[in-house]
């Protein structure tokens, strides 16, 4: 940080009373925007959950962007005027796949964005989200989620970028860069691994420090290297200490080792959880002191002034220790320019939010995130041959955004020009085809009379909704609200009206060319029905324009190009299942299962075909270059994602069988060939030795070039010895 800004922060701090300092580390969130709001809101806190998130509740029409901006401006003005030193507060909120203060542009969920394998696209999405946050006055967002998913039963899988370290690093960093271009503080979460065995959210972490450093910490480090100025601590405990009060994480690793100069916020009520959930402190005051002393700076979301004051009065916390927290907060506010420009233009908000450019970007993103898993010659559809379409499944008439972090408090997300799949199909075919939305009880009667049939599957998932079964639900699962620590997340409960697996099997029996469309945020067990389906498309939650993108893919106007960012198992009994596993001392199979996935990480079909050829490797001063020709051998234009994995052996410690290290999206016309270069710097060959020292240690490495983690076309051998990388030539077998 600029020295002048640091000095200015210290000057302000030196003039503050202890009460002012306490207010800077505490926050406020008011749910109800009624006539009592102004009298209930304490203007002295340093952070607020922005009021826009709650303004739409129980209104006949949602609040406009200009109304939200005006309310935030009014709150900001009252706070500045009430502060003895006119310190502006930070208005914060969520932004996992769109600005969640209201009805901002709704982009594909993060798990879908990861399927694009396109960090440049994700950065553009982050830029658009950042603009829609900043324009109304929301200056900090609790995004991105860069926790890796090694057990997809975790209900929050939908919020993540999947299972892979490299992909999560790239996507998280890209989102942070996009957000922060607009003067919005990115806050990657949840530091650090956030779930436990069985996919249980926020349960005690048994993760070793080796695994933490190899797997769960790198995406956070990538976000900080990309400029993220804040981080949210996880609810769970690691190494015997809750993450919100974990000095090892928040001070030793984050600040002393990595040099992080930003501030740390708690997850909602996470600090109180040190007392109430983890039972590590016998009072909230002791819990607050433990967190602030360990390196956490802002206690979210409710008023904790009395708690922190008690901690100081009882000697659990000193004013000098509190000063370190406040200084970090002041520096962040100065770096944002909040002191100079605290207010926003309401008119600019109306002009920007959900503008045509942002809706066009939402459509572009959706096109890149839909994965074609199975296609038995069914797709793309021949428009002229389709005159009657059967549509089944309850999610066919829902905007494919998902319920998790998709709208403001208590109100579903709404936006014009955001069709459901049913509406998009009718829009695409117009009067050329009859689109019939029917109950599954009508399958046997209706499906044989249609030229094409679709089944749109539904699933219950999200924060507070971990799963023990990966099959499509056949009964409604009700979320226990008392256990939903998210506080502001709408219940993920969705009424399931039928046995979906049975309905799919009946549809496939009536029409073997039936297309199954998945709308979900985590892998689904498809083994009972997938071999009977004509085609299967994984759309994830593709956002407000996702239904339109899906229709374009069905009709062949867009060629699918997305790849799986997570392994799809055959059944829940294989979990945890991820491709970057370390070697087994015996085997990988079960007595009734070969241990292999249904679909591997990196897999995705196209309407055309590709070939890799003339691959070669070159060791350079900066690392290793792998080059190859990529040819579109089919009859239509398409995009392939070339993937480069690294498998290590003969190292000082056991290493994963393979890890993604580089990838490239390549778009080709029919018959076209392009030369592609994938570069690995020396860091790609580094690892933690037996003493957990990271470096370019000795070892042998196999580079695997292909189009998924299981589809490998070429391999190369590399040796690292004495800090130098060299190629090992292998004898070729004729």
pLDDT in tens, 31-72: 988 889 999 999 999 999 999 999 999 899 999 999 999 999
| 626 and 494 within one domain | no
Nearest to 607 by CA among 656, 564, 555, 572: 555
- Give the residues across from 135 on adjacent strands: none
Task: For residues 690 and 560, state if they share a domain.
Answer: no
Same-domain check for residues 421 and 535: yes
Same domain, 413 and 491: yes
Count of CB atoms within 10 A of residue 734's CB? 2
Number of domains in the chain: 2
668: β partners:
638
Same domain, 617 and 522: no
Alpha helix (H) ranges present in 252-304? 270-276, 284-294
DSSP state of 583: P
Record the tokens describing residue 32, joined without a space. 């109800």
Task: Specify the CATH number for the domain of residue 699.
Answer: 2.60.40.10
257-286 burial: b if 16+ Cβ within 10 Å, else e? eeebebbbbbbbbbbbbbbebbebbeebbb
Question: Both 446 and 532 in a single domain?
Answer: yes
Among residues 515, 535, 567, the one where a domain terminates is 567
Rounded Cα gap, residues 311 and 305, in angstroms? 10
Q: Per the domain annotation, does 463 fall within a domain?
A: yes
Write out the DSSP string of 45-104. -SEEE-GGGTTTTT-SSPPPHHHHHHHHHHHHHHHHHHSTT-PPPEEEE--SSS-TTTT-
Q: State the pLDDT at residue 493.
A: 56
- Pair (633, 527) in one structural domain: no
Does 500 lie in the same domain as 616? no
CATH number for 377: 3.40.50.1700
pTM of the predicted model over 0.75: yes
Expressed as residue numbers, the domain containing 678 is 610-728
Residue 474 domain flag: yes
In total, the chain counts a number of residues equal to 734
Ranges of residues in the chain whose predicted pLDDT is under 70: 1-2, 476-494, 730-734
Do 512 and 377 fall into the same domain? yes
Whether residue 268 is contained in a domain is answered as no
518 in a domain, yes or no?
yes
| Cβ atoms of residues 702 and 715 within 8 Å | yes
Please give the span between the terminal C-alpha atoms of the chain, in angstroms, as a whole number.
60
* pLDDT for position 484: 42
Say whether the peptide bond before residue 299 is cis (omega within 30 degrees of 0). Answer: no
Residue where one domain finishes, among candidates 567, 585, 620? 567
Q: Are residues 464 and 378 in the same domain?
A: yes
So what's the pLDDT on residue 486? 52
| Residue 399 domain flag | yes
Same domain membership, residue 504 and residue 377: yes
Domain stops at, among 567, 600, 621: 567
Instruction: Check whether residue 525 and residue 415 sit in a common domain.
Output: yes
Is residue 640 assigned to a domain? yes
Is 199 inside a domain boundary? no
Look at residue 266 and tell me if it is in a domain.
no
Digit-coded pLDDT (tens) for 220-257: 999 999 999 999 999 999 999 999 999 999 999 999 99
């Amino acid at each position: 940080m600029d020295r002048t800004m640091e000095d200015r922060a210290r000057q302000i701090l030196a003039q503050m009373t202890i009460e002012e300092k306490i207010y800077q580390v505490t926050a406020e969130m008011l749910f109800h925007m009624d006539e009592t709001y102004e009298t209930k809101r304490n203007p002295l806190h340093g952070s607020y959950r922005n009021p826009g998130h709650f303004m739409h509740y129980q209104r006949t029409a949602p609040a406009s962007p200009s109304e939200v901006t005006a309310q935030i401006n009014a709150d900001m003005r009252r706070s500045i005027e009430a502060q003895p030193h006119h310190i502006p507060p930070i208005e914060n909120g969520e932004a996992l796949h769109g600005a969640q203060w209201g009805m901002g542009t709704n982009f594909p969920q993060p798990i879908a964005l990861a399927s694009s394998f396109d960090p440049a696209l994700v950065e553009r999405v982050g830029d658009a989200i950042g603009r829609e946050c900043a324009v109304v006055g929301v200056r900090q967002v609790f995004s991105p989620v860069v926790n890796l998913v090694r057990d997809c039963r975790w209900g929050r899988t939908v919020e993540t970028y999947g299972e892979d370290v490299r992909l999560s690093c790239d996507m998280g960093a890209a989102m942070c860069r996009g957000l922060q271009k607009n003067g919005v503080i990115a806050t990657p979460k949840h530091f650090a691994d956030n779930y436990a065995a069985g996919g249980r959210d926020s349960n005690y972490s048994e993760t070793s420090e080796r695994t933490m450093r190899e797997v769960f910490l790198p995406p956070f480090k990538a976000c900080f290297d990309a400029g993220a100025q804040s981080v949210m601590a996880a609810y769970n405990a690691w190494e015997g200490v809750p993450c919100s009060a974990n000095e090892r994480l928040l001070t030793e690793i984050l600040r002393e080792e990595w040099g992080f100069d930003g501030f740390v916020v708690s997850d909602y009520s996470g600090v109180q959880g040190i007392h109430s959930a983890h039972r590590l402190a016998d009072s909230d005051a002791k819990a607050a002191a433990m967190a602030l002393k360990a390196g956490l700076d802002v206690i979210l979301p409710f008023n904790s002034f009395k708690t922190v004051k008690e901690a100081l009065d009882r000697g659990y916390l000193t004013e000098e220790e509190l000063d370190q927290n406040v200084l970090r907060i002041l520096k962040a506010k100065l770096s944002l320019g909040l002191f100079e420009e605290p207010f926003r233009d309401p008119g600019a908000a109306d002009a920007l939010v959900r503008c045509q450019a942002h809706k066009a970007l939402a459509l572009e993103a959706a096109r890149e995130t839909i994965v074609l898993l199975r296609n038995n010659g069914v797709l793309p559809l021949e428009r002229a041959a389709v005159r009657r379409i059967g549509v089944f499944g309850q999610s066919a008439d829902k905007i494919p955004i998902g319920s998790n972090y998709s709208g403001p408090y208590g109100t579903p997300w709404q936006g014009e020009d955001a069709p459901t799949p049913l509406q998009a199909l009718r829009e695409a075919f117009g009067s050329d085809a009859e689109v019939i939305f029917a109950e599954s009880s009508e399958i046997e009667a209706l499906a044989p009379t249609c030229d094409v049939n679709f089944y749109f599957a539904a699933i219950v998932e999200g924060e507070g909704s971990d799963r023990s079964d990966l099959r499509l639900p056949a009964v409604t699962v009700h979320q226990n609200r008392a256990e939903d620590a998210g506080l502001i997340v709408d219940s993920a409960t969705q009424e399931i009206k039928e046995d979906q697996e049975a309905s799919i099997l009946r549809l496939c029996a009536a029409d073997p060319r039936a297309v199954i469309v998945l709308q979900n945020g985590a892998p689904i067990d498809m083994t009972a029905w997938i071999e009977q389906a004509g085609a299967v498309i994984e759309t994830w939650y593709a956002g407000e324009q996702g239904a339109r993108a899906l229709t374009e893919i069905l009709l062949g106007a867009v060629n699918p190009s997305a790849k799986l960012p997570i392994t799809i198992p055959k059944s829940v009994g294989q979990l945890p299942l991820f491709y970057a596993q370390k070697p087994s001392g015996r085997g990988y199979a079960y007595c009734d299962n070969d241990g292999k996935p249904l679909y591997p990480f990196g897999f995705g079909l196209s309407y055309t075909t590709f070939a890799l050829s003339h691959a070669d490797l070159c060791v350079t001063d900066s690392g290793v270059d792998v080059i190859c020709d990529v040819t579109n051998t089919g009859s239509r234009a398409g995009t392939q994602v070339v993937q480069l994995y690294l498998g290590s052996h003969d190292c000082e410690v056991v290493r994963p069988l393979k890890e993604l290290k580089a990838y490239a999206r390549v778009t080709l016309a029919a018959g076209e060939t392009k030369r592609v270069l994938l570069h690995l710097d020396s860091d790609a060959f580094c690892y933690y030795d037996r003493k957990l020292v990271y470096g370019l240690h000795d070892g042998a490495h196999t580079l695997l070039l292909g189009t998924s983690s299981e589809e490998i076309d070429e391999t190369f051998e590399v040796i690292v010895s004495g800090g130098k990388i060299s190629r090992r030539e292998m004898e070729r077998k004729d």
